[in-house]
Chains A and B, each alone.
Chain A
Amino acid sequence: MTQPARVLGPVPSPASARAVMERLAAQLGRAVQGKPEEVRRVVTCVVAGGHLLLEDMPGVGKTTLAEALARACALSFSRIQFTADLLPADILGAQVFHAQTATFSFRPGPLFRQLVLADELNRAPPRTQSALLEGMAQGQVSLDGETHPLPSPFTVVATQNPVDFSGTYPLPDSQLDRFLVRLSLGHPAPDVEARLLTTRGAASPLPSVEAVTGPEELASLRAFAQDLKLDAAVAEYVVRLARATREHGDLERGASTRAVLALGAAARAQALWDGRDFVTPGDVRAMLVPCWAHRVLLRSAVQGVSARDEAAHLVEEIARKVAAPR
């Protein structure tokens, strides 16, 4: 795969960063049509350096989106289909015995790629899930007392079917917390669906996705995004929001400190969409639900679609109640 020309100069500016993001979004838009908002969220998540959790019905384009992302960013890509009998070694890799030299050597598993699609993550048993999640958190894999660094940039796009589907192992909260953003694509609009039928038929849209950026550019974009100014007033706003979730009567558990940091990172990446080099309360609120809805635990612990909607609803309500700094 050829490396595309760099847009981001040696000294990135908000405008050039935004240009990269717009191009990325345009490429993803080719693969997932009629979902510009969601596509932008995905780009925000990637620029913020986080992992993405896509939670949706089967067949709405989750896998396509992930693959399109890998192509557009020219990242090494692997797809792991999580199943009930998947073992940690199947994703991490294993020590292999070489008979000629009578030594063991490490054969990396599919996890050792820059972009990993963990398809239907909740179909694997918890042990396998946690093997993946350790890699997500540490950026490295420990195996038989040896640590193996994962490639950089390392991003996981996990998909999961709604948990009320049979044969699933729901993700523990601590692991949900590792995903920066949770999104659901939802069914495309009827006109988009109709257009898909008439123009493309069953053909995959992926070949039309071009690489518009590369791992190096992505890494410097991430570094640039994390350096954006976050005013003390905005930081205090984030903290107040977190406290509001912790004190909310309908929430068993509010936003963690990791959630606070994640929202900060996401808001910084979001600010780039406006070509700004500082974060506003609006950026925070834009990323609030994607960032936090999956991290709070409802008191009435009904799992499933309704609980997910209710959490998002509660977080939105909190955002309305907590006054933004002026």
Chain B
Amino acid sequence: MKRPLRLRLVLRDLAAGSAFGAMAVSGQLPLWALGIFLGALVLALCDVRLVARHARLSALGLMVAAVLLGLQLTSGAMNAVVAACSFAGLIAAQRMLSTPDAAAEGQTHLTGLLMVAGGAALSGDMTYALCLIAFGVLASLALALGVVEAAVPDGEPVPVRAVMRPLSSGLAFAVAGAVAFFVLFPRLNWAMVGPRSAPGLGAVSSAGYSNTVRLGGAGTIKGNPRVVLRATLTPDPERDALDAYWMGRTYDTFDGIEWTNVVGAKQTERQITLRPATDTLLHQRIELLPAYGARTLIALEMPSRLGNAIAHTPTGTRSTPVQLQGGGEVRFTVTAPSYTYEAYSLPPDAKTGMSAGLVQAERDQLLALPEHLDPRVGPLAARVLQGEKEPLAAARKLAAFLQKDYAYTLEQAGVPEDPLADFLFVRKAGHCEHFATALTLMLRTQGIGARLATGFYGGARVDGGYLVRAGDAHAWTHVLVPERGFVTVDATPPSNRTSQGSVLLEKLLAFYEAVEARWRNSVVDYSFRDQFELASSLVRPPRRPAGAPEKEAPSRLPPPRAWATAAIVAFVVWRAGRFISRWTGRAPALEATRFLDRVDALLQRAHVPRFEHETLEDLTTRLARDGHPLALALTPLTRRYLEARFGGQALREGEAEHLFATLRRALDAEAARRAVKPAGQAGPTARAS
């Protein structure tokens, strides 16, 4: 058997790898399947065909895997789609490692297609699309090389370069066309890309914001760099990092371990007003991403109005009403992976009004203490305050004390009986919830009203907006100041308020997210409105920058870029027209030219001498003139070719085959004649010598 081209096998295996990647990005595949496939891929790329000698054994292994997957499926431990995808990955791995023959090729590509389809069923984000494109490109290259390789006779080099160059440009053209399709028909791609899910790396449940605040637990928190929220602010603060509090809700009741609210749901509206507006509101357009995983609306402190929400559900987008809950929490009434909404917030120094949005029960709770509060808490607070009675000054004093004497740690302490006492008197270390709870309760022991607020802190600037990560989840204290309302005081040391993830990971993720945001904005969410805006921005004269001096009357002519666009469009249309006309003009001749190519191949194989640039017509004329025995067979064939090519009389069904057969017979006869002649000549010479 001919040894297959190494490059083609590598391309084939990489294509299968991309197809597997299309599924793997969903994050739903079991880890062992991932491991097996990756191992197989590495071995295959190293040209180690492990399974080649043990085909039966590996098939048995596949059967066992199928049974195991089936068991998991029936026991409900695994979803049917995930099981099917995992099995496709296993088959692909087995095929990649077996002897590379035609059957294995086909099966590898088939499993690749299956895996791509599986990926579509599991997720549908940018990484999936990239994997899909990679699979398409690599598999096409591998298949085309396979076709060429099969056509090249044994022992001759495969013209890799000659094949790859036109093919690559063709594929680039196809990919560009696909992208153009996405841009031109924005709404269609909803169905094609699939439901919106977690950006990259698959759906992950929330690691940041949670619906309850419960002190205690084990493990590490706050290392998650996933983006949960993206916001565009008006007016734009234009700062690289925002040191702002994004508030989700507040808590007023603490039972010693967990914070809750006394009051439940209140009202459901399209838009909820929490506080009376002032004339300088900060507008936010916020997108909550799937990594957020909760239904609470987030807004900059202090929110005034929230609503106009749109839920991005797997079946499309729809607007959702919002519900006001206790603790100033506003929730979506529809569950969806992601949401978009608008929020208006008061500027940080505005007076929020003491009674704003609070019912009597909530106001009473601001001084409530848990039943079994450690008796040392009150005296500790009194000792720190040393008679300070003014609420804000007292709160700041206590916060400074906590920041100075207590350490910040991400390690959870386990489940102590009284987490607050454990933090204040035993461990003297904790995270933001400990600091905030301690400050709130210490204030309450001194008769100062306070509550716990949770949400996020910070915000990194990306693409003109701000990103908030899961690791930015934070808790802090609201102190009730007479005449001013609630004022934020944060007991957590300032350097520990934002995300605590690894810097490198965060940077990598920031890069990925920037690309992903571009993808989402310019491809997935690209709408007719964007098209219209793009078109009008090309035609409309540039807007005068604000504050620019009034100059002469603006020109009514379109701007230069409109002309440039028109020129480019005209050029593209012209080229396309030329291409199409040439293509249509050439099409009828193709059949005859293919016929000629086959005749040429036959003649070449028979080593019929041929001058450079000599056409079949010339060759036949020359052979006829020289009285060559082949002329007899070639003349009718040439005449038929000429008729088909230039006389407009296409070859009939089967006619070409008949002509080929005749020619082949003539060539064989000629070869036989030649083989006999030298032998006949050799005889007498040998005898003579």
Which A residues form the contact surface with B (CB < 8 A)?
229, 231-234, 276-282, 285, 320-321, 323-326
B616 to chain A: which residues have CB within 8 Å? 326
Contact in complex: B613, A278 (CB < 8 Å): no
- Expressed in whole angstroms, the Cα–Cα distance for A320 and B589 within the complex equals 23
Contact in complex: A232, B585 (CB < 8 Å): yes
Name the distance in Å between A241's Cβ and chain B's nearest Cβ.
13
Q: Which of the candidate stretches B109-117, B414-422, B641-649 sits at the interface with the other chain?
A: B641-649
Contact in complex: B648, A326 (CB < 8 Å): no
Contact in complex: B645, A320 (CB < 8 Å): no
In B116-132, which residues have CB < 8 Å from any A CB? none
Name the distance in Å between B587's Cβ and chain A's nearest Cβ.
12
What are 13 contact pairs spanning A and B, CB under 8 A? A232-B585, A276-B642, A276-B643, A278-B642, A278-B643, A278-B646, A279-B646, A281-B617, A281-B646, A282-B618, A325-B589, A326-B596, A326-B616
| B617 touches which of A232, A233, A282 (Cβ 8 Å) | A282
Contact in complex: A231, B615 (CB < 8 Å): no
Within 8 Å of chain A (Cβ to Cβ): is B662? no
Within 8 Å of chain A (Cβ to Cβ): is B280? no
Beyond A282-B621, A326-B593, A326-B596, whether A231 also contacts B613 by CB under 8 A is no
Contact in complex: B615, A326 (CB < 8 Å): yes
Name the distance in Å between A235's Cβ and chain B's nearest Cβ.
10
Name the distance in Å between B594's Cβ and chain A's nearest Cβ.
11
A232 to chain B: which residues have CB within 8 Å? 585
In B15-57, which residues have CB < 8 Å from any A CB? none
B615 to chain A: which residues have CB within 8 Å? 281-282, 324, 326
Name the distance in Å between A230's Cβ and chain B's nearest Cβ.
8
Which residue in chain B gives the minimum CB-CB distance to A279?
A: B646
Q: Which 9 A-B pairs have the closest CB atoms?
A: A278-B647, A231-B646, A282-B617, A280-B642, A324-B615, A278-B646, A280-B646, A326-B596, A280-B617
| A277 touches which of B617, B621, B645, B647 (Cβ 8 Å) | B647
A231 to chain B: which residues have CB within 8 Å? 645-648
A281 to chain B: which residues have CB within 8 Å? 615, 617, 646
| A229 touches which of B585, B589, B618, B647 (Cβ 8 Å) | B647
Contact in complex: A324, B643 (CB < 8 Å): no
B585 to chain A: which residues have CB within 8 Å? 232
User: Contact flags (1/0) for B576-605 with A, using CB distance below 8 Å?
Assistant: 000000000100010001001000000000
Contact in complex: B647, A276 (CB < 8 Å): yes
- Expressed in whole angstroms, the Cα–Cα distance for A321 and B613 within the complex equals 8
Which residue in chain A gives the minimum CB-CB distance to B618?
A: A282
Which residue in chain A gives the minimum CB-CB distance to B615?
A: A324
- Among A278, A285, A326, residue most surrounded by chain B Cβ atoms (within 10 Å): A326
Which residue in chain A gives the minimum CB-CB distance to B592?
A: A326
A229 to chain B: which residues have CB within 8 Å? 646-648
- Among A231, A280, A281, A324, residue most surrounded by chain B Cβ atoms (within 10 Å): A280
User: Contact flags (1/0) for B151-165 with A, using CB distance below 8 Å?
Assistant: 000000000000000
Contact in complex: B621, A278 (CB < 8 Å): no
A321 to chain B: which residues have CB within 8 Å? 613
B621 to chain A: which residues have CB within 8 Å? 282
Beyond A320-B613, A324-B613, A326-B596, whether A278 also contacts B648 by CB under 8 A is yes
- Expressed in whole angstroms, the Cα–Cα distance for A281 and B646 within the complex equals 9
B648 to chain A: which residues have CB within 8 Å? 229, 231, 278
A279 to chain B: which residues have CB within 8 Å? 646
Name the distance in Å between A221's Cβ and chain B's nearest Cβ.
20
| A234 touches which of B593, B596, B643, B646 (Cβ 8 Å) | B646
B613 to chain A: which residues have CB within 8 Å? 320-321, 323-324
- Expressed in whole angstroms, the Cα–Cα distance for A280 and B645 within the complex equals 9
Contact in complex: B646, A233 (CB < 8 Å): yes
Name the distance in Å between A263's Cβ and chain B's nearest Cβ.
15
- Expressed in whole angstroms, the Cα–Cα distance for A277 and B642 within the complex equals 11
B593 to chain A: which residues have CB within 8 Å? 326
- Among B589, B596, B617, residue most surrounded by chain A Cβ atoms (within 10 Å): B617
- Expressed in whole angstroms, the Cα–Cα distance for A259 and B503 within the complex equals 78
- Expressed in whole angstroms, the Cα–Cα distance for A233 and B645 within the complex equals 9
B617 to chain A: which residues have CB within 8 Å? 280-282, 324
- Expressed in whole angstroms, the Cα–Cα distance for A167 and B334 within the complex equals 109
Name the distance in Å between A18's Cβ and chain B's nearest Cβ.
14
Name the distance in Å between B356's Cβ and chain A's nearest Cβ.
83
Name the distance in Å between B348's Cβ and chain A's nearest Cβ.
77
Which residue in chain B gives the minimum CB-CB distance to A322?
A: B613
- Expressed in whole angstroms, the Cα–Cα distance for A285 and B618 within the complex equals 10
A320 to chain B: which residues have CB within 8 Å? 613
Name the distance in Å between A244's Cβ and chain B's nearest Cβ.
13
- Expressed in whole angstroms, the Cα–Cα distance for A213 and B589 within the complex equals 38
A324 to chain B: which residues have CB within 8 Å? 613, 615, 617
- Expressed in whole angstroms, the Cα–Cα distance for A325 and B645 within the complex equals 9
- Expressed in whole angstroms, the Cα–Cα distance for A232 and B643 within the complex equals 14
Which residue in chain B gives the minimum CB-CB distance to A230?
A: B646
- Expressed in whole angstroms, the Cα–Cα distance for A323 and B621 within the complex equals 17
- Expressed in whole angstroms, the Cα–Cα distance for A323 and B646 within the complex equals 16
- Expressed in whole angstroms, the Cα–Cα distance for A321 and B646 within the complex equals 21
A233 to chain B: which residues have CB within 8 Å? 589, 645-646
- Expressed in whole angstroms, the Cα–Cα distance for A232 and B647 within the complex equals 11
- Expressed in whole angstroms, the Cα–Cα distance for A277 and B617 within the complex equals 16
Which residue in chain A gives the minimum CB-CB distance to B616?
A: A326
B645 to chain A: which residues have CB within 8 Å? 231, 233, 325-326
A234 to chain B: which residues have CB within 8 Å? 646
Which residue in chain A gives the minimum CB-CB distance to B596?
A: A326
- Expressed in whole angstroms, the Cα–Cα distance for A320 and B612 within the complex equals 9
Which residue in chain A gives the minimum CB-CB distance to B589?
A: A233
Name the distance in Å between B616's Cβ and chain A's nearest Cβ.
8
A280 to chain B: which residues have CB within 8 Å? 617, 642, 646
- Expressed in whole angstroms, the Cα–Cα distance for A253 and B643 within the complex equals 35
- Expressed in whole angstroms, the Cα–Cα distance for A233 and B585 within the complex equals 9
In B614-630, which residues have CB < 8 Å from any A CB? 615-618, 621
Name the distance in Å between B159's Cβ and chain A's nearest Cβ.
20
B589 to chain A: which residues have CB within 8 Å? 233, 325
- Expressed in whole angstroms, the Cα–Cα distance for A326 and B642 within the complex equals 9
Name the distance in Å between B613's Cβ and chain A's nearest Cβ.
6
Name the distance in Å between A192's Cβ and chain B's nearest Cβ.
20
Name the distance in Å between A108's Cβ and chain B's nearest Cβ.
44
- Expressed in whole angstroms, the Cα–Cα distance for A324 and B596 within the complex equals 13
A282 to chain B: which residues have CB within 8 Å? 615, 617-618, 621, 642
- Expressed in whole angstroms, the Cα–Cα distance for A231 and B615 within the complex equals 17
Name the distance in Å between B331's Cβ and chain A's nearest Cβ.
72
Which residue in chain A gives the minimum CB-CB distance to B620?
A: A282
Name the distance in Å between A104's Cβ and chain B's nearest Cβ.
55
- Among B589, B645, B646, residue most surrounded by chain A Cβ atoms (within 10 Å): B646
Name the distance in Å between A44's Cβ and chain B's nearest Cβ.
16
Which residue in chain A gives the minimum CB-CB distance to B646?
A: A231
A278 to chain B: which residues have CB within 8 Å? 642-643, 646-648
B618 to chain A: which residues have CB within 8 Å? 282, 285
In B641-671, which residues have CB < 8 Å from any A CB? 642-643, 645-648
- Expressed in whole angstroms, the Cα–Cα distance for A276 and B642 within the complex equals 10
- Expressed in whole angstroms, the Cα–Cα distance for A326 and B615 within the complex equals 7
